[in-house]
Amino acid sequence: MAGERKRVLVVGGSGYLGQHLLAALALELASAGAGDVDVAFTHHRDAAPPQLLDALPGVRAFRADLRSGDGLDAVSASFGQPHVIVNCAAISVPRACETDPAAAMATNVPSSLVNWSLSFGNDKSLLIHLSTDQVYEGVKSFYKEEDETLPVNVYGKSKVAAEKFITEKCSNYAILRSSIIYGPQTISPVDKSLPIQWMNDVLSQGKEVNFFNDEYRCPVYVKDMVDVILSLAKSWLSDGKKIQVLLNIGGPDRVSRLQMAESVADVRGYSHSTIKSVPASSVNRGVASPPDISMDITKLTQMLGIQPITFHDGVRATLDAEASTL
């Protein structure tokens, strides 16, 4: 790839992780010493967020439908063949997937995206695909990448199907099994509720709130997630060596929703008295949820040398960032 302009495409770039990634790509990859880098993203809505376009004027936007593949040919015709494709697009709300399994499978298994990328030649692009910790059954702590995937809901099943499709079709891929991603709000605020901000809001009101005490995750700070993607992208753009990797991407701490709320309270100085400990079985969410899908991230730290920050430090960084924008 030496001497040619590099092109990075973020699919689902107007979402939460996508926006954070685009901001980092625009800033870091272009000055990474690997040559000039062009960045573009796809969005599903009719128009890309104006705030995002204004903030990142060098980044190009394309409307595309991941289910049908409509719009992808316009990307290659105008932007060119991407050297790196980062797929952040998904129906990621488990209940929504349970309600419409067909839509979940059509969106979360990126068959149109993969087939489009293969049209350039099977070894021409690196696909970095966001999967989930919900591929695991949730009956033990600290799952490793080689552990069996036995998802308990449609969301997890759709992500397992996506992983299988990608590993069978693609010559170069990095599949990232992400836990809950948290951090500051995006350039163009996303519609969904952000976990730390929501906890801070409800706790600041001094009213009693229930939090599950028996569901465990390894939440990952968004900037650590971005660093993982940047590391993989830079490696591919600099030497083009074959990449076939599956990684758990989580923070170092195994925490329940209750412990997450307590960390927010500690950072903000709120009393723990309004935080009520309840089992997950106390609420019918309309979808099965795995009890413990904490992940072992040894492979991540050894392979990329990235040490995700602790949950407490991530909460502090998130709330500090929010306060600085007020």
Report the distance separating Cα 230 and Cα 240, nearest Å.
Answer: 14
| Tokens (6 digits) for 60 | 């190009």
Q: What is the CATH number of the domain that holds 22?
A: 3.40.50.720
Q: Is residue 90 part of a domain?
A: yes
SS3 content of the chain, % helix, strand, coil (to 5): 40, 20, 40
90: amino acid identity, one letter: A
Q: Is residue 317 part of a domain?
A: no
Q: Is residue 285 part of a domain?
A: no
- Which burial class, exposed, middle or buried, applies to 78 when counting CB atoms under 10 A from its CB (0-12, 13-18, 19+)? exposed
Q: Is residue 304 part of a domain?
A: no
Specify the DSSP class assigned to residue 268: H
- Which burial class, exposed, middle or buried, applies to 76 when counting CB atoms under 10 A from its CB (0-12, 13-18, 19+)? middle
Find out whether 149 and 195 touch, Cβ atoms under 8 Å. no
Q: Is residue 64 part of a domain?
A: yes
Specify the DSSP class assigned to residue 212: E
Tally of domains within the chain:
1
245: β partners? 174
pLDDT, residue 323, reads: 81
Specify the DSSP class assigned to residue 220: E
Residues 6+ apart with CB under 8 A from 143: 133, 136, 248, 293, 294, 295, 296
Q: Is residue 135 part of a domain?
A: yes
Closest to 117 in 3D by CA, of 193, 192, 7, 27: 7
CA angle 57, 22, 90 (to 5 degrees): 125
Classify 47 as helix, strand or coil.
coil
pLDDT, residue 322, reads: 87
pTM: 0.96
Closest to 60 in 3D by CA, of 77, 170, 292, 114: 77
DSSP count for the chain of H helices, then E strands: 12, 13
pLDDT, residue 32, reads: 52
Find out whether 219 and 250 touch, Cβ atoms under 8 Å. yes
Report the distance separating Cα 295 and Cα 275, nearest Å.
Answer: 26
Q: Is residue 40 part of a domain?
A: yes
Closest to 303 in 3D by CA, of 234, 228, 214: 228
Report the distance separating Cα 250 and Cα 135, nearest Å.
Answer: 14
H helices of 173-253, in order, are 195-204, 222-239
Tens-binned pLDDT, residue by residue, of the chain (326 aa): 455 788 999 999 999 999 999 999 988 755 654 457 899 999 998 899 999 999 999 899 999 999 999 999 999 999 999 999 999 999 999 999 999 999 999 999 999 999 999 998 768 899 999 999 999 999 999 999 999 999 999 999 999 999 999 999 999 999 999 999 999 999 999 988 999 999 999 999 998 999 999 999 999 999 999 999 999 999 999 888 999 999 999 999 999 999 999 999 999 999 999 999 999 999 999 999 999 999 999 999 999 999 999 999 999 999 999 887 75
Q: Is residue 265 part of a domain?
A: no
Q: Which uninterrupted H or E stretch holds 158?
A: helix 154-169
| Tokens (6 digits) for 220 | 């990952």
| Residue 170 phi, psi dihedral angles, 5° rounding | -95, 140
| Tokens (6 digits) for 148 | 């069996």
Quote the domain boundaries for residue 243: 6-185+218-252
